[in-house]
Amino acid sequence: MQIIFFILAGVALVTGGLVVFQRHPLRSALWLIVNFFAVAGIYLLAHAEFIAAIQVIVYAGAIMVLFLFVIMLLNLREPEAEAKFMHLGQKVGGIILAVFTVLLLIYGVMQVVLPPGKAAPPGLGNTESIARLLFTDYLLPFEVTSVLLLVAIVGAVVLAKSKLK
Amino acid sequence: MTAWITGCLILLLKLGIVLVGLLLLAAYLVLAERKLLARLQIRLGPNRAGPLGLMQPLADAVKLLTKEDLAPAKADRLIFLLAPAVVAATALLIFAVVPFGQDWVIGGRRIPLVVADLNVGLLYALALSSIGVYGVALGGWSSNSKYALLGGIRGAAQMISYELSLGLALVPVVMLAGSFSLVEIVAAQSRYPFLLVQPLSFLIFFVSAVAETKRIPFDLPEAENELVAGYHTEYSGMRFGLFFLGEYVTMVVMGSLVAVFFLGGWRGPWLPPLVWFFLKVLGVVFFMIWMRGTLPRLRYDQLMHLGWKLLVPLALLNIVVTGAVLLLLRA
């Protein structure tokens, strides 16, 4: 089990890096899909079959198809030319922000207290238990999220239709 | 140890039989479709290769395998070469969760007639069918040809639209069966098939399934009189063959999903379960071929209209009504 985890984690890290370092937007998108699959595999190892399936359906199956769709429609075939001139302030600011983000992440990870014991018990990530939690303990955040998504949909429709008439 | 080895052997054997069976079925489905279409159009259809043209799939396979494997000079080579495999592989993988018969007991050992009974089987099938889009979209994009690109974009837009109604149509089925496992869903239909209580779901699922297989009246991604051959215009040899195979395997898989979700799977009186399953799948597939011989192609705006303004709202309404009725019945 542990070997599989490290393989999947390695794949996730390497492909995550490849997403950032590709010159071509479509290649980046494709590596991101591989990354999603590796993460879904890790969910499976943690007995969270439902989350794994949803990860593939929503992220790899829907969101990335939309990304690809946009890349294909804009036909971004040639990688963008590298900027010839870069402001010194941009470089310094970028480095400072990056270091700050890494420190923040390290601080955040250190705060997490891992519960004792090994993997989650089987059945924890199952559909029934997730549904029970969503509709009892986390009902309010769940409903607020759905309203948030509705607002986004309405906003998208308004933006798209504002040019008509 | 020996139990483990026999278990492994049985699994491998099962995998082999299912794989070969599925490929053979897809190959002969091509022949069956050509024959049936010919009859619908008052022609004879292929009848030269072997008796009644039964060797035609073999001849086609030899032809495709021995053809030159071409890639356009300016194509994105790696993606171009991989795209057909995505289509064929995802279609084949879906069948892994489809139960095609009652458990067999051989020598005291129980052999379930399903490759893998996942507890999220239904989601697994939906996930793989949504991954299949990439083959179409990337194949079209990487060919560096305007017809292929248009076909690929149409394919992506169409499949992402109809996936929604495909998934939503299954929610009432899950509510009735109380499980995502396909084996459980078949078990829940022991008294009556879900077709009787969910005719609307069945209709929405069937229409969306035909749209997912990109067949007439939903064959806009390949629309031969507008786009040459759409997303696989630039493909030759067995890579074209893989797209073709993927399409027919998808037909069989969608047929078996319809059978499992709405027609009671392998259940049926008198005949053995395996025969019932095949009859149901072939019935659905026959209906798809019949539609191809009868209906004209939809226009692009009609396609989007049907998907988003009719099927999706109907499916949502169906979920609400089913939920209310279930609540009333169980209260």
Count Cβ atoms within 10 A of the Cβ of residue A148 and give its class: 0-12 exposed, 13-18 middle, 19 or more buried.
exposed
Residue of B86, B150, B160 to mutate when probing chain A, most A C-beta within 10 A: B160
Residue A106 has what pLDDT? Answer: 92
For residue A72, which residues of chain B lie inside 8 Å, CB to CB?
137, 140-141, 149, 152-153, 156
Evaluate whether residue B6 is within a structural domain.
Answer: no
pTM: 0.83
> At what angle are helices B146-177 and B121-142 packed, to 10 degrees?
180
Residue A148 has what pLDDT? Answer: 95
Please give, rounded to a whole number of angstroms, the shortest distance from the CA of B160 to a CA of chain A: 7
> Residue B85: which of B36, B138, B46 has the closest Cα?
B138
Evaluate whether residue B291 is within a structural domain.
Answer: yes
Task: Test B120 with A49 for CB contact under 8 angstroms.
Answer: yes
> Residue A49: which of B111, B97, B103, B293 has the closest Cα?
B97
Task: Test A53 with B124 for CB contact under 8 angstroms.
Answer: yes
Evaluate whether residue B248 is within a structural domain.
Answer: yes
Evaluate whether residue B5 is within a structural domain.
Answer: no
Fold of domain A2-125: Four Helix Bundle (Hemerythrin (Met), subunit A) (1.20.120)
* Assigned token pair, B150: 């248009």
What is the average pLDDT across B57-70? 86
Task: Test B120 with A33 for CB contact under 8 angstroms.
Answer: no
Interchain contact B166–A (C-beta under 8 A): no
Neighbours of A131 (CB within 10 A): 11
What is the average pLDDT across B197-221? 87
Task: Test B123 with A50 for CB contact under 8 angstroms.
Answer: yes
pLDDT tens digit sequence for B118-134:
788 888 998 888 888 88
Task: Test A72 with B152 for CB contact under 8 angstroms.
Answer: yes
Task: Test B163 with A62 for CB contact under 8 angstroms.
Answer: yes
Contact between B44 and B38 under an 8 Å Cβ cutoff? The reply is: yes
Q: In this model, does residue B229 exceed pLDDT 80?
A: no
Contact between B92 and B265 under an 8 Å Cβ cutoff? The reply is: no
Chain A residue closest in CA terms to B78: A27
Instruction: Give me the domain span that covers residue B155.
Output: 56-330
| Overall number of domains in chain B | 1
Chain B residue closest in CA terms to A57: B127
Evaluate whether residue B167 is within a structural domain.
Answer: yes
pLDDT by residue for chain A (165 residues), tens only, comes to 788 888 888 999 999 888 888 878 888 888 999 999 999 998 888 778 888 888 888 888 888 888 888 887 776 656 566 666 667 788 888 899 999 999 999 999 888 877 766 555 555 557 778 888 888 888 999 999 999 999 999 998 888 887 766
ipTM of the complex: 0.79
Task: Test B127 with A56 for CB contact under 8 angstroms.
Answer: yes
Residue B270 has what pLDDT? Answer: 82
Cα gap B88→B94, rounded to integer Å: 10
Q: Where are the domains of chain A?
A: 2-125, 126-165
Evaluate whether residue B7 is within a structural domain.
Answer: no
Nearest CB to A65: which of B144, B156, B167?
B156
> Residue B125: which of B156, B90, B89 has the closest Cα?
B90
What is the average pLDDT across B164-175? 90
Residue B234 has what pLDDT? Answer: 80
Share of chain B above pLDDT 70, in %: 100
Residue A151 has what pLDDT? Answer: 95
Nearest CB to A69: which of B123, B157, B163?
B157
Cα gap A109→A112, rounded to integer Å: 6
Q: In this model, does residue B147 exceed pLDDT 80?
A: yes
Task: Test B156 with A75 for CB contact under 8 angstroms.
Answer: no
pLDDT tens digit sequence for B254-308:
999 999 888 887 887 888 888 888 888 999 999 998 988 888 888 888 888 888 8
Sign of CA dihedral B273, B279, B284, B289: positive
Task: Test A72 with B134 for CB contact under 8 angstroms.
Answer: no
> Residue B83: which of A68, A63, A78 has the closest Cα?
A68
Evaluate whether residue B42 is within a structural domain.
Answer: no
Interchain contact B243–A (C-beta under 8 A): no
Interchain contact A110–B (C-beta under 8 A): no
Residue B190 has what pLDDT? Answer: 82
Q: In this model, does residue B1 exceed pLDDT 80?
A: no
Neighbouring residues of B274: CB distance < 8 A, sequence distance ≥ 6: B100, B101, B113, B266
